[in-house]
Amino acid sequence: MFHFVDQILELDPGRHALGIKRVRTDEIFVRLNADGKATLLSCILGEALGQLGAWSVMAAKGFTVRPVAGVVGEVAISGEAAVGDSVLLDTTIDSVTDDAVFYHAAASVGGATVLRLENTLGPLLPMEQFNDPKEMRERFARIRHSGDSAGEPQTGGGTAAPFDLSFDEILSFESCKEATAVRALSGSEAFLRDHFPRKPVLPLSLLLESLLQLGQKLLEDSGSLYVPTGAQKVKMSRFVEPGSSLLAKVQVTERSAENALMKFRCEVNGERVCVGQAEYRAIIGENR
């Protein structure tokens, strides 16, 4: 399952939407944070906000088009959503044209913002290339009215293995400086079934999470640990399809005792797929 809006609470199609994502015990995209608490991957919160924006614009456009990942001006990570939490998703569409949607959004838990997306752009493409429009309408009707929590367990009964975020192979690794890594998309990855049924492609959210984690490893040094606080100017310029081998290059451009900055670039067959930068905060000596 790669659907993260459990229920749409309020909707003004093409303008504003409020939704809910409940973090369950059997989620695939949960991992232990530095305190040992099971929390949802930050990038999945971003994915949930993007999906809520997508529902809003798809409803406004009569399910003829759907947005795909394009540019995220800024992702700001300011908290976490733990297992058991209900995350309030709030997406505001700034403008919709024939070929793109522009929006900003925030996810909050108990009134505190945990993640924000700013200056987000999603190209709009014909729905039929990605999904069965009828299925999308039906899903929309379900989450619009009663919510999706009852019928469909998130992981098919809690038996699914957690999503593996690591790259297949680290090609080069120079601590605190730069690293290159590859990951092949085989086509059998579970998330590809929903993203998207008619055109399976690697979600930007998962790619970004992998990159943030690779950067985290790169920044780790004896006694220091850095956690991501956000990413900027993240841009997806091509789809990564099954059979592709993704080459990621991450480079630390700044590193102090307090924070760090990392640039990243991903390519498939030498062509740019995704670029951007990420920020980290040092939590030196804590929880280690």
Q: According to the binding rule CB under 8 A, does residue 236 interact with other proteins?
A: yes
Which span (85-93, 160-168, 177-185, 233-241) binds other proteins, by CB under 8 A? Answer: 233-241
Residue whose C-alpha is closest to residue 54's, from 71, 76, 69, 74? 69
Q: According to the binding rule CB under 8 A, does residue 72 interact with other proteins?
A: no
Q: According to the binding rule CB under 8 A, does residue 123 interact with other proteins?
A: yes
Residue 63 DSSP SS3: coil
Interatomic CA distance for residues 78 and 229, integer angstroms: 7
Count of residues of this chain found to bind other proteins when the rule CB under 8 A is applied: 17
Which of 60, 121 has the CB closer to other proteins?
121
Residue 104 DSSP SS3: strand
| Contact (Cβ atoms closer than 8 angstroms) between residue 261 and residue 254 | yes
Residue 78 DSSP SS3: coil
Q: What is the amino acid identity at position 39? A: T
Which span (128-136, 185-193, 236-244, 279-287) binds other proteins, by CB under 8 A? Answer: 236-244
Q: Is 16 a catalytic residue?
A: no
Q: Which two tokens stand for residue 229?
A: 């606080």
User: Mask of contacts with other proteins, 28-47, x by CB under 8 A?
Assistant: --------------------
Q: According to the binding rule CB under 8 A, does residue 129 interact with other proteins?
A: no
Residue whose C-alpha is closest to residue 215's, from 246, 252, 184? 252
Strand (E) or helix (H) holding 229: strand 226-236
Q: According to the binding rule CB under 8 A, does residue 237 interact with other proteins?
A: yes
Which span (11-19, 20-28, 167-175, 231-239) binds other proteins, by CB under 8 A? Answer: 231-239
List binders of other proteins among 75-114 (CB under 8 A). Answer: 95, 97-100, 102
Partners of residue 194 on adjacent β-strands: none
Q: According to the binding rule CB under 8 A, does residue 10 interact with other proteins?
A: no
CB neighbour burial string for 193-204, b if at least 16 within 10 angstroms, e if fewer: eebbeeebbbbb
Residue numbers annotated as active site: 195
Interface residue list for other proteins (CB under 8 A): 70-71, 95, 97-100, 102, 121, 123, 233, 235-238, 272, 275
